[in-house]
Chains A and B, each alone.
Chain A
């Protein structure tokens, strides 16, 4: 500790340079901390958005393949199944956009509420959805985006089926994270018969609600067993698993960003090492004098290394504080503004704080190691000869 004053004074020798170096390290730590919150944030997002009694049943070959609509009825009849609803991707493009800008499906209105009892939608609106053949319910996110109100008519042109849907908004799912719109499957079926002579007859995904979480495994096994060796073998999974797979691509993106950030951090290490080398080189005469006075290799190595470690630690603390402040601000603003969406789920855990601080210390040690080692190991007479 008695060398702390000397270390601190040396850091203040070139304030601008120290500030820039600390700023670069702080920025790297901030980036890494924010990125490290992503996996936890996605987990929280999936945890909040899923239900452990809901299952997804789709074609084993993938979501683009369909299953017979009759399979929904068979699933619904199984023991342990509280409700099941068959859905199909409508792929409707809002006329003003001309392309699909939000997910939209055709669903069975009479079973929808029983499968999603946890979704905030009023019973009256659900009843209207069942009553009106052209009724549609929509998530608040999309309704607010387009300014849609209950009773408003909207036309969606399907990019999958050769039909358009002239629908009426009869309900709003009062949850900002849900962007989806649902029309009635009967409506699509009739529109297809009118347009092509053939009805729908298929479902893309069957959403199943089981009576209790422990029944999820046995029911999934039963469903898949039931479709074995059929033309449309099914693959069942929990809603959480379904969403995790869906967000898997985002986690891959996070890994790529993390890799890039790692490379940026490596660049910061080189910058910090260069700064440390310059600092040591500029003070060659002073270091030689200190050696001559009797400052040994360990003391010199320790004090020189401490300079970069201290600078990095201060910068790391700043970076972590900024990351903490930023995530807290996002959480706060997310409560006020739905536009921030899932960003409100990103929070700094103790592990991420420790990882950020650890990273900053590692930067300090790696950056300071070579300059400190070379300066401290140089024989005193050689050091004096070089500078005097």
Chain B
């Protein structure tokens, strides 16, 4: 049994897309493939002209360090490091010196609006702030691709919207390609495109329309009014 079956999709550079679907639909597996965390048993994954299947484990890790920024549901910040040090962590894999690493980490935290929280430990930050630190960490290396796995899953409504808005801003302001896995119907208001998966299959046509409609109903109210039509 395969987690994904005959899935073929293309995400254009500078787009903000969502992978949606019920639990077990294969969306996280697809995200892992796109981000070079996992390898397909069949088929190919190509990101920014690089076929990921050609890289061995060490090369893949190096590729992720240079080209991918990751945002997780539970933030996954290192509790013994300050916000600034957490953001600067991926820069340890570069040749940058200490002062340049600090400068870039400060810039990333300024972008997410946390320039006043540089020296705070993660434990002293709110959930929304922690997620913004995680996003700053994801963009600090100036990656081509940002992948976010349920980034609003552990946030309240206000912080979830702020996080989605921030991810959209990364696309708009910095031209980043953002691929996000989410259950959150509010996400449809922020993304350019949503792909729906179910039981390892990428839904297309009427099936995709029905899935999007179900999400619109789930979102309800004012949120539903601004939900764009999803791509199949």
Interface residues of A (CB under 8 A from B): 2-3, 5-6, 9-10, 12-13, 285-286, 289-299, 379-381, 384, 388
Interface residues on chain B, size class: 20 to 34
Q: Are B65 and A289 in contact (CB under 8 A)?
A: no
Q: Within 8 Å CB of A299, what residues of B?
A: 93
Q: Are B62 and A294 in contact (CB under 8 A)?
A: yes
Nearest CB of A to B145, in Å: 12
A296 to B85, CA, bound (A): 19
Chain B 59-83, CB-CB to A under 8 Å as 1, else 0, gives 0011111101010111010111100
Does residue B98 face the partner (Cβ distance < 8 Å to A)?
yes
Q: Are B76 and A289 in contact (CB under 8 A)?
A: yes
Nearest CB of B to A140, in Å: 60
- Of the candidates B35, B57, B66, B89, which one forms a contact with A297 in the assembled complex, judged by CB atoms under 8 Å apart? B57
- Contacting A at CB under 8 A, from B81-119, are 81, 85, 89-90, 92-93, 98
A322 to B178, CA, bound (A): 57
A381 to B37, CA, bound (A): 6
Q: Are B98 and A2 in contact (CB under 8 A)?
A: yes
Nearest CB of B to A16, in Å: 15
Interface residues of B (CB under 8 A from A): 32, 35, 37-38, 57-58, 61-66, 68, 70, 72-74, 76, 78-81, 85, 89-90, 92-93, 98, 137, 149
Known: A2-B98, A291-B61. Contact between A9 and B81, CB under 8 A?
yes
Q: Within 8 Å CB of B93, what residues of A?
A: 293-295, 299
Nearest CB of A to B139, in Å: 12
Q: Are B66 and A13 in contact (CB under 8 A)?
A: no
Q: Within 8 Å CB of A6, what residues of B?
A: 81, 89, 92
Q: Are A292 and B74 in contact (CB under 8 A)?
A: no
Q: Are B58 and A296 in contact (CB under 8 A)?
A: yes
Q: Are A13 and B73 in contact (CB under 8 A)?
A: no
Using A291-B61, A295-B61, A381-B32 as known contacts, list a sample of 14 further A-B pairs with CB atoms less than 8 Å apart, ordered by residue number in A: A10-B80, A13-B79, A289-B70, A289-B76, A292-B37, A292-B64, A292-B70, A293-B70, A293-B90, A293-B93, A294-B63, A294-B68, A297-B57, A380-B37
Top 3 nearest A-B pairs (CB, nearest first) are: A294-B65, A289-B76, A294-B64
Q: Within 8 Å CB of A9, what residues of B?
A: 78, 80-81, 85
Quick one: closest B residue to A299, CB to CB?
A: B93
The residue in A291, A293, A380, A388 that gathers the most chain B C-beta atoms within 10 A of its C-beta is: A293
Nearest CB of B to A388, in Å: 7
Quick one: closest B residue to A290, CB to CB?
A: B89
Nearest CB of A to B91, in Å: 9
